[in-house]
Amino acid sequence: MSKRNVEIMVGLFVLMGMTGLVFLALKAANLASFGARDGYAVTARFDNIGGLKPRSPVRSAGVTVGRVKTISLDPKTFEGVVTMELDSSVRFPRDSSAKILTAGLLGDQYIGIEPGASDQDLAAGGQIRQTQSAVVLENLIGQLVTGKAAEAADQAGEKK
């Protein structure tokens, strides 16, 4: 092989490697959706959304069925309003519930949808009424510490 052919092959190899890295970075950050999907939007209201972000997955039975589209604050009720884009191939009953869950102990948060038993489907632009807010690890630790401190104070009072 001539020197020129070797340089062309190395250049193509580097270009393919960079393309692969860009592809992986976009997939890992949920910034690019490869393949257009038709979907419908639904909303849900939560007291606390924790660390939920736009483009977070929406899952049912562990399968990704959509993505979080937008997150906003209702100025009247001070609740977080989450708009989700669900795949049109999946229809949930009207009385389905939504929870904000965490992938692993310290992983990213996502919305889990549990199907209800209604005969009517959740329509485009509909609202999921039964919701469970995010569990914030700092709040749980604070409750544990406060509970232990109160328990210790009660035991100290009994010993006197």
Phi-psi category of residue 50: left, alpha or beta, with phi > 0 → left and psi -120 to 50 → alpha: left
Whether the Cβ atoms of residue 136 and residue 50 lie closer than 8 Å to each other: yes
Compute the radius of gyration of the chain from its Cα atoms: 24
Residue 30: predicted pLDDT: 59
Q: How far is CA 11 from CA 18, 25, 34, in A?
A: 11, 21, 26
More confident residue, 40 or 152: 40
Q: Is 159 helix (H, G, I), strand (E, B) or coil?
A: helix
Q: How far apart are CA 66 and CA 112, in angstroms?
A: 10
Number of neighbours of residue 80 by Cβ within 10 angstroms: 21
Reported as a single tens digit per residue, the pLDDT across 56-71 is 999 999 899 999 999 9
- Which of 83, 85, 88, 87 has its CA nearest to residue 127? 83
Quick one: tokens of 63?
């399968």
- Going by pLDDT thresholds of 50, 70 and 90, the confidence category of residue 19 is very high
Whether pLDDT at 151 is above 80: no
Reported as a single tens digit per residue, the pLDDT across 67-108 is 999 999 999 999 999 999 999 889 999 999 999 998 876 678
**Is the model's pTM score more than 0.85?**
no
Residue 34: predicted pLDDT: 54
**Domain map (residue ranges) of the chain:** 1-36, 39-143
Reported as a single tens digit per residue, the pLDDT across 21-70 is 988 887 776 565 555 567 899 999 999 898 899 989 999 998 999 999 99
- Going by pLDDT thresholds of 50, 70 and 90, the confidence category of residue 147 is confident
Chain centroid to Cα 147, Å, comes to 30
Q: How far apart are CA 58 and CA 67, in angstroms?
A: 5
Q: How far apart are CA 67 and CA 128, in angstroms?
A: 15
Whether the Cβ atoms of residue 81 and residue 54 lie closer than 8 Å to each other: no
Q: How far apart are CA 16 and CA 7, in angstroms?
A: 14
